[in-house]
Structure 1
Amino acid sequence: MNTLVNATPTVDVAAIRWNIGLLLPHHQALPLTDGELVSLTDFLRTQTRLLITQVEQAAALRPAEDVPRYIALACTRQARDRLQAEPGPDRHGLLVHARRLARALAALCDHHDALAGVAMCLACDQPLHHGEEAIPYDHVSPSGGAARAGHIHTRCANTVRRQH
Structure 2
Amino acid sequence: MNATRPDTQTTPVDLVTMREVVNRLLDPDAVPEALPPTGGELQTLTETVRGHLTLLVPEVEAAARKLKSDSVHRSTVLGCVWEACSRLETQPSPRFGGAPGYARRLARTLNALCNHYETLNGTTR
Taking structure 1 as the reference length, the TM-score comes to 0.63
What's the C-alpha RMSD, in Å, of the aligned pairs? 2.1
Unmatched runs of 5 consecutive residues or more in structure 1: 120-126, 128-164
Q: How far apart are 1:68 and its partner, in Å?
A: 1.6
Q: How far apart, CA to CA, are the structure 2 residues paired with 1:106 and 1:76?
A: 12
**Could you say which residue in structure 1 is the equivalent of 2:51?**
46
| 4+ long deviations beyond 6 Å | none
Which protein has the larger Cα radius of gyration, Structure 1 or Structure 2? 1
Q: Could you give the per-residue CA deviations for residues 27-84 of structure 1, whole angstroms, max 9, x where no partner exists?
A: 4663324111111100000111111110011112211122221111000001111111
Code of the aligned partner of 2:51: T
CA change 1:78–1:116 in 2 (3 A) is: same
Letter in 1 for 2:11: P
**SS at structure 2 position matched to 1:86:** coil
Number of aligned residues: 114
The structure carrying a bigger helix percent of its residues is: 2
**1:16 corresponding residue in structure 2:** 18
Q: Secondary structure, in 3 states, of the residue corresponding to 1:23?
A: helix
Alignment of structure 1 residues 7-86 onto 2, 5 Å: 8-25=10-27, 27=29, 30-86=35-91
Higher strand share: 1
Identity of aligned pairs, percent?
39
Q: Return the TM-score normalized by structure 2.
A: 0.81
